[in-house]
Amino acid sequence: MKKEWFTISVYAENNVGLLNRISGIFLKRHINIESLNVSKSEIENVSKFTIVVNTTEDWTRKIVQQIEKQIEVIKAFFHDDDEIIYQESALFKVASHLLFDERQIQNIIKESNSQIVTVSRDFFVLAKSGRRHEIDEMHEALLPYGIMQFVRSGRIAVSKAEMPISKLLKNFYQD
Amino acid sequence: METLKEKNKDAKKTTAMKVSGAEAIIHCLLAEGVDILYGYPGGAIMPVYDELYKFQDKLTHILTRHEQGATHAAQGFARVTGRVGVAMATSGPGATNLVTGLADAQIDSTPMVCITGQVTRHLLGSDAFQETDIIGISTPVTKWNYQITKAEEIPEILAKAFYIARSGRPGPVLVDITKNAQFDELDFSYEHCTGIRSYNPVPKPNTEAIDAAAKLINEAKKPMIVFGQGVILGQAEDELKELIEKSGIPAAWTILGLSALDSDHPLNVGMVGMHGNYAPNMLTNECDVLIAIGMRFDDRVTGNLDTYAKQAKVIHFEIDPAEINKNVTADVAVLGNSKETLGMILPKIKENKHEAWHNEFKKRYKIEFDAVIKDELHPTKEGMTMAEVINEINTASGHKAVIVSDVGQHQMIACRYSKFKQSKSNITSGGLGTMGFALPAAIGAKMGAMDREVVAIIGDGGYQMTIQELGTIFQNKTPVKIVVLNNEHLGMVRQWQELFFESRYASTVMSNPNFVKIAEGYDITAKKITDRKDLKATIAEMLASKDAYFLEVRVEKEDNVFPMIPSGASVSDIRLK
């Protein structure tokens, strides 16, 4: 089976140690986590892990089964790229003098649809949200002029289909 | 486990009282029905031991000679009783010594709660004396773990720990408790845990899956059942028997499924797996419907997955959704507790007899008997075989003994040749293959079933891995029977070296001490036999003993265990020699 990109969404209790438990599932199977984001979810007191892997669908399904097996995990889902709306964010720290010395910089800012977050005497910071390749393109465009610092976040994603977590929790309290 | 639940039903929420964390731990254990635990004291757990001293009339603490021994004893207790085994240790090395037992309980689904002391909260992360990150270390080998740093967390977390350990697919739970939480006071009240919103221990059976499974079973011409420990853990022995008898389907057990069905049941066709029986292994690749019940298609059962039961439709009765399609794809997956799902399918099963198909098993049993079993049980050579020793123990004990085996050749022989009449009678380290398991596990098993004969069958290698537990037997006068089958080798590794490494016996030859003297040093009656003519009488003497008894039997040095599915081969490539 061929390797593909899958986005795993995990709804879980917000507990110390759960991240370790989840990452251990990947470690045990020698599968690399390509991107990881932990945040609150649409449900109060429920965390959401968004994990991106590049592996076969079979492995992804098995990993999701193992994740769901963890006591503090409420439910886990996986989707391919067509089934989700997803983005990443990046910050670029660039020397301020380039704004004046290099005309092309302003074009890059405009064309990349990025925002200037702050400008100081020495540097300015650009923020860009979008698909991985869009961020990569902007990175490539800025690289010849020098990037002082660069960071990109993990993928965040929402699914096109429903993730029926609230219903699951409601059923628990009714039972 | 049901019995414990029942017992606890009446235990109402206790009213609040002011106690120390350490005392609260004792009250929690008592509320969970614990009357015995295994452990080893040390600095960070001393407040709890101080309370154990005060509560010794209600709660027996067995001092093992090593923390690993405490975990295996707790496992032995759990496996023979179906209750949660409890082990306790201090921080640092005490805690790390639990890891092998945790891993063993995790892979063999044994309900166990381990409580470890931890350095006081303000020292966490300072590399304090005997500080270790046992939560980090034990995460991959526990069903759940938690670090308590405040006294008031104790009742809720311990209630959760016991609930998680015994519910659904059971497993080990570790609770690490900082010393300040043991000293500090709390308003204690206890409420049993009955559910956790993120945890669904027993999936609801799907009636469509039941119907689909029943249809496949009823239409099958050559069906075969393979059942595992899920039958024992689900207390579904009666339902299994009824299913087999009504459907007429031959049934084989996995190593952990042993004793869930009478060995002599006509439809019991023996053990599957690497050293299992010839018939069920061969016919796995000829059956048309394979009905797996409470088993997980371990690689030692399946051999090469690419050639495993490819011709068959597979029905998988299983409580753990993560096991479905993990190794073998199920055509029908029936999720749920085995007692419930088998109970649901029974009325839908048509009475049948698969005589011609059953005869195929009998034919192959005859082949195995002639090629292997006959010579194993009735050897013509001078040296004793492990099988004749096991057979004698079995016969003399009326097939009623609890057999606790260690890991290696003697384990395979014990599992192949022991005959059982009662469930929960076979205790062995299946998934992890932990040498050193048997001696401490036998202690726990005996304490869990004082009315039963408990015989530990151990090799000379594994015996020396936890031999210090003779001290536990000595101190507690635990009447276990210990049989060491001594071939002066690490037999199974030696067998592989002979078969696959051109007999280069790297580090598998053992120079052994005088085991009889060692046992006698612990005041245990001990005998060594080297001649077949002494076998019967000595075993009779051992079984007649009211006290612990050690028997060393010198067996043939270079015997191999057959049949054997070579690692990575197909189940139907099983070798008889």
ipTM of the complex: 0.92
The answer to whether the Cα torsion of A102, A104, A106, A108 is positive or negative is negative
Chain B residues closer than 8 Å to A71 by CB: 143-144, 164, 196, 198-199
**Which of B130, B242, B488, B556 is flagged as catalytic?**
B130
Rounded to a whole number of angstroms, the distance from the CA of B196 to the nearest CA of chain A is: 8
Helix axes B67-81, B99-107, angle to 10 degrees: 20
What are the Cα distances from residue A151, in Å, to A126, A129, A146, B312, B536? 11, 12, 14, 53, 76
Mean pLDDT of chain B: 96
What pTM was estimated for this model as a whole?
0.95
Chain A residues closer than 8 Å to B196 by CB: 71
For residue A28, count other CB atoms closer than 10 A to its CB: 11
For residue B237, count other CB atoms closer than 10 A to its CB: 21
Position of tokens 């006294």? Answer: B151
| pLDDT value for A175 | 62
Q: Compare all CA atoms of chain A with the CA of B134 and give the residue at the minimum distance.
A: A17
Q: Where in chain A is the domain with CATH 3.30.70.1150?
A: 86-152
State the average pLDDT over residues B157-170.
Answer: 98
| Burial tier of A70 (Cβ tally within 10 Å: 0-12, 13-18, 19+) | buried
Per-residue pLDDT of chain A (175 residues; tens, 9 = 90+): 899 999 999 999 988 899 999 999 999 999 999 999 999 999 989 999 999 999 999 999 999 999 999 999 999 999 999 999 999 999 999 999 998 899 899 999 999 999 999 999 999 999 999 999 999 999 999 999 999 999 999 999 999 998 888 787 877 777 6
Active site annotation includes B130: yes
Active site annotation includes B550: no
Phi and psi at residue B405, to the nearest 5°: -115, 155
Q: In CATH, what number does A4-84 get?
A: 3.30.70.260
Chain A residues closer than 8 Å to B328 by CB: none
Rounded to a whole number of angstroms, the distance from the CA of A11 to the nearest CA of chain B is: 9
From chain A, which residues contact B within 8 Å (Cβ)? Answer: 12-13, 16-17, 20-21, 24, 28, 61-62, 65-66, 68-69, 71-74, 169, 172-173, 175
State the average pLDDT over residues B224-231.
Answer: 98
Domain A86-152 belongs to what architecture?
2-Layer Sandwich (3.30)
B78 and B84 in contact (C-beta within 8 Å)? yes
Cα torsion B136, B141, B147, B153 to 10°: value is 160
Chain B residues closer than 8 Å to A175 by CB: 195
In chain B, the percentage of residues whose pLDDT exceeds 70 is: 97
| pLDDT per position as a tens digit, B427-452 | 999 999 999 999 999 999 999 999 99
Chain A residues closer than 8 Å to B148 by CB: none
Rounded to a whole number of angstroms, the distance from the CA of B496 to the nearest CA of chain A is: 27
Rg (CA), chain B: 24
Distance CA A42, CA A45 (A): 9
Position of tokens 């037992």? Answer: B101
Q: Compare all CA atoms of chain A with the CA of B163 and give the residue at the minimum distance.
A: A71
Active site annotation includes B67: yes
Distance CA B428, CA B192 (A): 31
Domains annotated on chain B, with CATH: 2-188 (3.40.50.970), 207-361 (3.40.50.1220), 382-554 (3.40.50.970)
**Which of B23, B51, B67, B153 is flagged as catalytic?**
B67
| pLDDT of B375 higher than 50 | yes
Active site annotation includes B492: yes
Q: Where in chain A is the domain with CATH 3.30.70.260?
A: 4-84
- Side-chain-facing half-sphere of B352: CA atoms under 13 Å: 22
| pLDDT of B11 higher than 90 | no
